[in-house]
């Protein structure tokens, strides 16, 4: 755990928790509004959460070269997450204009 300072760890961990809480809040909003498109947005946020957890795991073990695959995995899940979020946002926008 020497790779990051304590304040940086605090930011990393609270960001992961905040993202998970945002996913739950968006899902609840979709349920309350009876708009299932918002549930897709919450689900689309999952790859970004996995990406953040992969980055934290890599830092937790002091960024060893043996875990370099986690960096590639993190990049791939970031790309996947961004694509999923764009599609979910498009779905919400289309449903909003159709209503």
pLDDT for residue 33? 93
The proportion of the chain whose per-residue pLDDT surpasses 70, expressed as a percent, equals: 98
2: which DSSP letter? -
40-66 b/e (C-beta count within 10 Å ≥ 16 → b): bbbebbbbbbbbbbbbbebbeeeeeee
CA atoms within 13 A on the CB side of 41: 21
Q: State the chain's mean pLDDT as an integer.
A: 94
Confidence of residue 3 (pLDDT cuts 50, 70, 90): confident
Dump pLDDT digits (tens) for 34-81: 999 999 999 999 999 999 999 999 999 999 999 999 999 999 999 999
- The single residue listed with the structure tokens 């899902």 is 27
| Domain segments of the chain as ranges | 6-98
Task: Compute the distance between CA of residue 5 and CA of residue 78 in angstroms, rounded to an integer.
Answer: 24
pTM of the entire structure? Answer: 0.90
């Amino acid at each position: 755990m020497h790779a990051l300072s304590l304040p940086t760890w605090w930011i990393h961990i609270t960001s992961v928790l905040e993202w998970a809480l945002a996913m739950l809040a968006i899902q609840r909003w979709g349920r309350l509004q009876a708009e299932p498109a918002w549930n897709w947005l919450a689900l689309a946020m999952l790859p970004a959460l996995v990406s953040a957890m992969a980055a934290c795991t890599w830092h937790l073990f002091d960024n060893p070269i043996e875990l370099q695959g986690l960096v590639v995995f993190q990049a791939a899940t970031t790309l996947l997450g961004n694509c999923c979020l764009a599609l979910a946002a498009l779905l919400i926008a289309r449903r909003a204009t159709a209503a």
